[in-house]
Amino acid sequence: GHRTMAEAGVVHHTEVVEKLAEEEAGGATKEEIEIRERALAALTPLQQERMRKDHLDTLIIVRGYQTYKPRLDETIKYFKKIAEWREESKYQEFLAAKLPHFDEFHRRWPNNVYGT
């Protein structure tokens, strides 16, 4: 028979993602941390609160604009744009909500991860 991921003893997806995120975020340079803090300081208090919840997310943004010149100014500009878009699109609410028919979908089309 078919076994579920839990029955197969597979590590839960979020645990794997969190472990990888922790490893990647742990490698932040002093310069990246400084740019991140300066960019966060340019946001509204609510935007700062939301963005600070995910260190890796903000680090990815800093790294994503590392080739833009002048780096600090451009990173701050895009931090603001990203934070504003997330507010306007209600990004946080969307990610936290289950899509309609979520349970039915997964009951009908179970998905499994195999491998080591």
> Which range in 7-11, 62-66, 106-110 is most confidently predicted, on average pLDDT?
62-66
Share of the chain above pLDDT 70, in %: 84
Q: Is residue 97 part of a domain?
A: yes
> Which range in 3-12, 19-28, 52-61, 62-71 is most confidently predicted, on average pLDDT?
62-71
Give the global pTM. 0.67
Q: Is residue 61 part of a domain?
A: yes
pLDDT score of 14: 64
Domain count, the chain: 1
Which residue in 32, 31, 51 sits closest to 41, CA to CA? 51
Rounded Cα distance between 116 and 56, Å, is 25
Rounded Cα distance between 79 and 87, Å, is 12
Reported as a single tens digit per residue, the pLDDT across 5-41 is 444 444 455 676 677 777 777 789 999 999 999 999 9
Q: Is residue 43 part of a domain?
A: yes
Q: Is residue 114 part of a domain?
A: no
Write out the two tokens for 35: 């740019």
